[in-house]
Structure 1
Amino acid sequence: MKLLYWLDEWTQLPHAEQQKQVPFTGGDLLGDVYVKYHIIDASKPLLFTFSPAGTNYQEHDLTDDFSPWAYKLAKKQDVNIIAFQHLGISNWFRHRNLLFFIEQLAPLIGGFKERLGYGLSRGGFAVGAFANLLKLDKVLLFHPVSTKNKEKAPWDDRSSTDIAQKFDWAGDYHDVDLGQAKGYIIYDPTNRIDRAHAKRYSQLTHLRVFGMGHSVHATYLNKFGFYKDVAVDFIRHQQVDIAQFRQQTKTLRFKEDYYRRLNKANKGSAHRLALLSTAHNILIDEKAEHLQEQKEAVDVQPLIDIAIKHQEAHPKDAIKLLEVAQQLSPDDPLIEHKLKQLK
């Protein structure tokens, strides 16, 4: 465990001496989890990431160029990164080697400027479970699982819960334990299981995205840069611009093919289709209100002025401009009057 030995010595040095020994990059296998790290400066934040479900990497995939989930993204933001990648499909970061490593790591990272955590779903569970141990300051979680302990989350009846019962859900680090960490949890309130898990993260700021679903939509949302944009904002500034986030999600959800594509992606699941239908119906009134607000906010006067200025030399163009203005402001009497004159 090269990182532990190196940190033990490095953290004792003055900052100027520390900087002579960085960047320090490497990786270790911790049972069924691979950790890769890139340390550059104790005066910058240290980010911990844990991979979500959806991959089936094996030990033979761990080449020198292999990058765990979110590792490259973090490096681009110029922060310190320790990224954990699970191996295999059914893996909930429960291996004793991993737990021992994190327990040994925790006392060595107090000198970093700020300690951050970022994870989706299963990775969000790990961030929440180890947050207090690692003394994380801030976290960003997308639809995290809080635990697979059936007594604490009896409503989580997904197939993944039964599969996960081969692990210990009563021992150390099996449940959300945020300590003093603050931050954000992002989830779809129409998904009853995600909503129930989210309630167990009461100290975080809740950001709701209707229709986002759980994990299965990640690839589609990534095409719009949804996860990346929010994560970059968090990593760079240690906070999320909530106003910008809400505008981004509103724009995303108002795209014409948003629900069409999500419905197509989930055509084999009546449960998910029902959730999407609920979210879509909620959005109908909101979208109509939004469009009306947009129409009221549009200033069509410049279009009218140009049309009037060029109506004699280019009457057809003037009519087209006025017709566009009328679409934006259908109740404007001046536009209607000028169209009647030109036609």
Structure 2
Amino acid sequence: MLKLNIETREIIDNVVMKYHIFDVNQPIMITFPPVCQSIQNIDAATNAPVWSFDYFANRKLNIIAFNHIGEGNYFDSAIFISYLDTLKHAIAIFPSKVGYGTSLGGFALSLHADRLGLDKALLMMPQSTYCKSIAPWDPIVVNAQDSKVSDMTTLDGKGCKTPLTVIYDPLSIADRLHVKRYEQALTTLKIYAVGHRVPRALQHLNMLSDVILQFRLGSIDQDSFYRGLRGRRNLSYYFRDAIKKPNNSYTNKRIAIIYWHKTKQTITHFKFEPSKISERITTSCHKRIMKIKLKLQKILSR
């Protein structure tokens, strides 16, 4: 089923698969992308980049990368699921089968890791579900398009039994609630005050590659991980959510320290850019006008 030693691209219904098998005696990576990496249409899918493929292939590491085509696509088509049932047998020859996905990709792995028979999976700030009635507290879920082929209530990854390692920001309320929904005992790594941008933060800290490669071969060195996170105070977005207090655990002294660093960061990176200020004001005014129009329409329609 899988070709060896050749870069191969296939389209399975509304999903692109790109893979390269270098050595069957090495682990195989199975990856799913975040929602922002959607490929626009079938025509574009023949040449479009497939998320994560180049990262692994350039290192000559076995990789099967999946990418969704179009919006409202949750890797849930019957044709694609049937393909995964077959793929499970093809990848059984590898000594280790490892999943990696972020956001929507983490959700997709929650759905399909058991089906693929993966040994483990690394999820970064995953959605456990995209059903609005199950997760009304997540703006990403609430604003997402419904699946074009499935009842959203059936798309729930909380029952995944494959061992999962999850990296997330507990200060992000929605991400914390998604992690809490998983029924198994997770291995969790926490990175505070970066929001729903964990891979971006790890990349800015020059940690992302090490984290992925460590997980591929074994487990993430937690001591090294948390030492590396000390540099996040130099990230421009680190203190943006400082007033959020998980379990009300912040002391007044800690809040004062956070605000001090936040202010120092703002002053250090301050740039006066009139065009951006004007754009933000225009956008804000437009939103307010639209809200007023909607209220007037509701009043007039009564």
1:45: Cα distance to partner? 0.6
Task: Kindly indicate whether the alpha-carbon contact (under 8 Å) linking 1:131 and 1:177 is maintained by their aligned counterparts in 2.
Answer: no
For these two proteins, the number of residue pairs brought into alignment is: 250
Q: Name 1:87's counterpart in structure 2.
A: 69
Counterpart of 1:242 in structure 2 is 222
Match of 1:37 in 2: 19
Tell me by how many angstroms 1:214 deviates. Answer: 0.8
Report SS of the residue matched to 1:247.
Answer: helix
Secondary structure of the corresponding residue to residue 248 of structure 1: helix
Deviations 1:154-205 (A, max 9, x none): 443425335343442344x6423432x3241010101111101112334221
Q: Contact 2:194–2:201 at 8 Å: present in 1 too?
A: no
CA 1:262–1:247 in 2, change beyond 3 Å: closer, same or farther? Answer: closer
Check if 1:46 corresponds to 2:28.
yes
Q: 2:188 pairs with 206, 230, 238, which one?
A: 206
User: SS where residue 54 of structure 1 aligns?
Assistant: helix
**Corresponding residue of 1:134:** 116
User: Which among 101, 111, 131 is matched to residue 119 of structure 1?
Assistant: 101
How many Å separate the matches in 2 of 1:212 and 1:125? Answer: 20
Structure 1 position 227 matched with structure 2 position 208: yes
Letter in 2 for 1:277: I
Is 1:55 aligned to residue 55 of structure 2? no
Provide the C-alpha distance between the structure 2 equivalents of 1:199 and 1:136, rounded to a whole number of angstroms: 22
**Larger C-alpha radius of gyration, 1 or 2?**
1
The residue number in structure 1 matching 2:167 is 186
Contact 1:92 1:164 in 2 (8 A): no
Residue 244 of structure 1, CA deviation? 0.6
SS at structure 1 position matched to 2:166:
strand
* Cα offset, 1:221, TM superposition: 4.9
Match of 2:176 in 1: 195
Scaled by the length of structure 1, what TM-score is found?
Answer: 0.64
SS of 1:36's partner is strand
Q: Please report the RMSD computed on the Cα atoms of aligned residues, expressed in angstroms.
A: 2.9
Quick one: structure 1 residues 276 and 101, their matched pair in 2 at CA, closer, same or farther if it must change by over 3 Å? farther
Q: 1:41 to 1:159 in 2, by over 3 A?
A: closer
Q: Per the alignment, do residues 42 and 177 of structure 1 end up closer, same or farther by CA in structure 2, a change over 3 Å counting?
A: farther
Question: How far did residue 229 of structure 1 move?
Answer: 3.0
2:131 corresponds in structure 1 to: 149
The amino acid across from 1:168 in the alignment is D
CA separation of 1:132/1:159 partners in 2, compared to 1, >3 Å: closer, same or farther? closer
Alpha-carbon distance in 1 for matches of 2:30, 2:166: 16
Structure 2: gaps of 5 or more residues:
258-302
